[in-house]
Structure 1
Amino acid sequence: MHIPPYHKKSSVQRFLVGAFIGSVVAYFIFVYMHGSMYGQLLEENRNLKSEVRELEQQNDALLEDNENLDEQAKEPIKVETIEITIINEEDLPDKLIIHDLKELMKDEINHIIGKDLSIIAESDGLLEATIQNKVFTIDDFEFQFTVEKLYLTPTVKISVEATIAD
């Protein structure tokens, strides 16, 4: 049996060349699509790995902070600073006097800094009496204070009302 010589016909040659060129073009399209998809997956993988690393570091930091807080919770809370607010500042004659009065009051109760907060809380009436019974003198003016609010936290916050003593 004889195989007919189709390779000599131009229509068969065009078909074979078209199939070959089509397969080459399809291969390049496949390689491009596979490469771009693989690149996106690599980028997403790296982003997820970095996010996991950041979350692990954050978790370690929070666990360490929690351990530090547990250790600090065992220690008593101490008074760190004192903030004094004068409610009726506008009734006082001068801004410099306000600053000086705040400093004088801080000097009067400065001994509580570094003390255990529970001890100060037990004697909060004594702290109020210390401020209210003292007459502060600045520039021939005598001032007396009434404690309106007293917040006992590591930062002791005291709100006072000033009156000019007679």
Structure 2
Amino acid sequence: MHIPPYHRKTTWQRFFAGAFFGGFIAYFILIYMYGTMYEELLAENMEFTSQIRDLKDQNEALLKDKEDLDEKSREPLTVSSIVITIVEGDQLKMDRLIELQLEEMIIEEINHLVGEEVDMINKSDQLLLSAIENKGFTIEDVTYYFEVNKLTIASELEVSVIPKLSN
């Protein structure tokens, strides 16, 4: 079997030279396209890695916050302040100064409740009502008694009272 001598014909030489240089150029184009695609994928991978790291940090911070809140919620709720409101004080024609003095006297009477647990105060609310209603508060030779209108037991103990004069 005989291989024809194509290497001597110029048309075949041009074809083979063109195929060789075309393959050479195509190889470099392929390498360039692969490099740019790989560079884009690498940049996207770095971006995703950064996002994952940020999300992990955020997740850890949220879990730590949740643990702190769990610890705080396990602590019993305590009374931090006491607010006394005198309602219908204008019926006895009390001025604001007397109302403020009476509010301070009531706060002094139940001031020992600051720092106590809300559950304990809630269990003994009748004792608190009796302590306010059965005590007379004297200002300028006039004794005032109070009837508790509203009692709110939370971190801020709110008591609304109605004043009554002694008989």
User: TM (normalized to structure 1)?
Assistant: 0.62
1:12-23 → structure 2 map (5 Å cutoff): none
Instruction: Report SS of the residue matched to 1:90.
Output: helix
C-alpha separation in 2, matches of 1:58 and 1:103: 48
Deviations, residues 32-76 of structure 1 (Å, cap 9, x unaligned): xxxxxxxxxxxxxxxxxxxxx8x9998776554433221111111
Determine the structure 1 residue equivalent to 2:123.
Answer: 122
Shift in Å, 1:130 = 0.1
Tell whether 2:86 aligns with 1:73: no
1:96-107 → structure 2 map (5 Å cutoff): 96-107=97-108
Give unmatched runs, 5+ long, in structure 2.
1-53
Instruction: Report SS of the residue matched to 2:90.
Output: helix
Determine the structure 2 residue equivalent to 1:110.
Answer: 111
C-alpha separation in 2, matches of 1:146 and 1:152: 17
State the structure with more CA Rg: 2
C-alpha separation in 2, matches of 1:98 and 1:140: 15
C-alpha separation in 2, matches of 1:105 and 1:118: 21
Determine the structure 2 residue equivalent to 1:86.
Answer: 86
Instruction: Report SS of the residue matched to 1:160.
Output: strand
C-alpha separation in 2, matches of 1:137 and 1:57: 62
C-alpha separation in 1, matches of 2:57 and 2:87: 46
User: TM (normalized to structure 2)?
Assistant: 0.61
Aligned alpha-carbon RMSD (Å): 2.6
Give unmatched runs, 5+ long, in structure 1.
1-52
Shift in Å, 1:90 = 1.8
Aligned length: 117
Q: Aligned AA for 1:153?
A: A
1:126-137 → structure 2 map (5 Å cutoff): 126-137=127-138
Q: Aligned AA for 1:150?
A: L
User: Which moved further from structure 2: 134-143 or 58-67?
Assistant: 58-67
Tell whether 2:154 aligns with 1:153: yes
C-alpha separation in 2, matches of 1:157 and 1:74: 24
Shift in Å, 1:106 = 0.3
Deviations, residues 119-157 of structure 1 (Å, cap 9, x unaligned): 111100000000000000011111000001111101011
**Which contiguous aligned blocks of 4+ residues in structure 1 show a shift greater than 6 angstroms?**
55-61
Determine the structure 2 residue equivalent to 1:162.
Answer: 163
